[in-house]
A and B are shown apart, each in its own frame.
Chain A
């Protein structure tokens, strides 16, 4: 429904004038609020260029530290992505199995890991596994937590993708005398993968962003690194650079997020054009994928 044309008439001259006045007043109000915020920042000395220069000061080591933190983030995310994708595919196959003694426990595992917050899983790996003799580092805890949570979400995505292939394809394949494995690998998967790809990429992006939760277990990712830098500078110069460092970390996050969202959109566009997905239904992006677990969601591909 194109609400914009049905729900109201096109505005006449008087309505347009009213809207213009409203726009100007609203704009002035917002400008005043922004100005007020900047003024307060200025009074507190936060806009002093010398304070911002530290972010680009190679001798103080700030750009190196932030870059290293970004690499740390990418590293743990890469491990999580590979492990979660493999395990997720296995779980999806298990959930679609014809054997009830496979299907039920696998379903329980998927539902359990989807219902528990990611942070709790990370803490579980970090605090519990060492007590049963598994040597643990912040990196491993983060990777295990990300893998456990995301394999469950990815399993659901794979399942939805396979179920989205038109029933006729499967029936035709069986009618040709193919076996279960052949139907899956030769007919269903090639079509399902194309359809799943955008959602899969979106979830992997979410996984990357969720690695920001590492700052709670002390993994040196971006936020933690910013905090470490803040503590270091506070010790030497007092509370000079706190605001600047946090803003820098936040901005890096947002830039990375927006870039990755663009990537997801690009993949979506490319697969949407392909005629090879004609026999599948549209798979909607589940909310688990959109909202993330603290890492934040992906802008909707539209």
Chain B
């Protein structure tokens, strides 16, 4: 126990890094994913094709490879992220956005046709009917899949440890190296850190789901 108290500052900052990594890339992925989902149902064929291309590419590329390109690849075209943290957020966000877009698209498809027809019949144009009628209902039906995407994202942040971002997993490696006798305690603390993020998220999403679910 003493050991955990001694290393509390390191653990706390590592936990906060993991949490902010997940939150920042989650928000980024939500915004980008919504835009992509909108593009996939848009009137312009070019936009549809572009969004489909994006989703297919990122779904078939391992996250580790995305990390590799953003950390070591773009240097070759003379670009660089201001910090490793931001590069990690970009990698996680770009990757997760593809899954958010897929979840939202399935939600849009689940909205009954009559809703969109009614919106068009009272004279709303494409943007208006998407924004005010279809998307609000779509978001409600995709709460459970989005929750799963968020939890998977929170676990995926651990990959960043392999690229010198000092998150929980990196703290695990560092503490385990210097405290070989306390190793079980280290694991306990780190796993607790992840559970503190994932379990309450699961409960929260279940609560939101029951609150906003549409009875049809």
Contact = CB atoms under 8 A, between A and B. Distances in A.
Contact of B184 (A119, A128, A242, A297): A128
Secondary structure class of chain B's binding surface, majority of residues: helix
A295 B65 CA distance: 8
B43 A120 contact: no
B6 interface: no
Contacts of A215: 64, 162
A257 B62 contact: yes
Contact of A26 (B46, B65, B153, B194): B46
Contact of B64 (A4, A120, A213, A290): A213
A2 B113 contact: yes
B113 A22 contact: no
Contact of B59 (A247, A295, A300): A300
Nearest to A43: B78
B73 A291 contact: no
A6 B129 CA distance: 10
B183 A41 contact: no
Contacts of A118: 155, 158
B43 A8 contact: yes
B72 interface: yes
Interface in B162-205: 162, 169, 172-173, 176, 180-181, 183-184, 187, 190-191, 194-195, 198-199
Given A1-B111, A261-B60, A295-B62, A119 B149 contact: no
B156 interface: yes
B59 A37 contact: no
Interface string A1-42: 111101110010001000100110010000000001100110
Central interface residue in B68, B126, B149, by most chain A CB within 10 Å: B68
Contact of B156 (A3, A247, A294): A294
A46 B74 CA distance: 12
Contact of A243 (B61, B73, B130, B156): B73
Nearest to A18: B44
Given A3-B116, A115-B198, A287-B99, A127 B176 contact: yes
A258 B61 CA distance: 9
A296 B134 contact: no
B76 A120 contact: no
A37 B77 contact: yes
B109 interface: yes
B78 to A, nearest CB: 5
Interface string A97-125: 00000000000000000011111100110
A1 B62 contact: no
A13 B111 CA distance: 30
Interface centre among B44, B153, B190 (most CB of A within 10 A): B44
Given A7-B130, A246-B72, 16 more contacts: A2-B113, A22-B44, A46-B76, A118-B158, A119-B162, A128-B183, A212-B65, A213-B162, A250-B68, A254-B61, A254-B62, A290-B102, A295-B64, A296-B64, A296-B65, A297-B99
5 nearest CB pairs, A to B: A296-B62, A287-B148, A117-B158, A40-B77, A291-B152
30 contacts: A1-B109, A1-B111, A4-B41, A7-B116, A7-B120, A23-B44, A40-B78, A44-B78, A115-B155, A115-B198, A116-B195, A117-B156, A117-B157, A117-B158, A119-B162, A120-B194, A128-B176, A131-B180, A212-B65, A215-B162, A216-B161, A242-B72, A249-B68, A258-B60, A291-B153, A293-B159, A295-B62, A295-B63, A296-B60, A300-B102
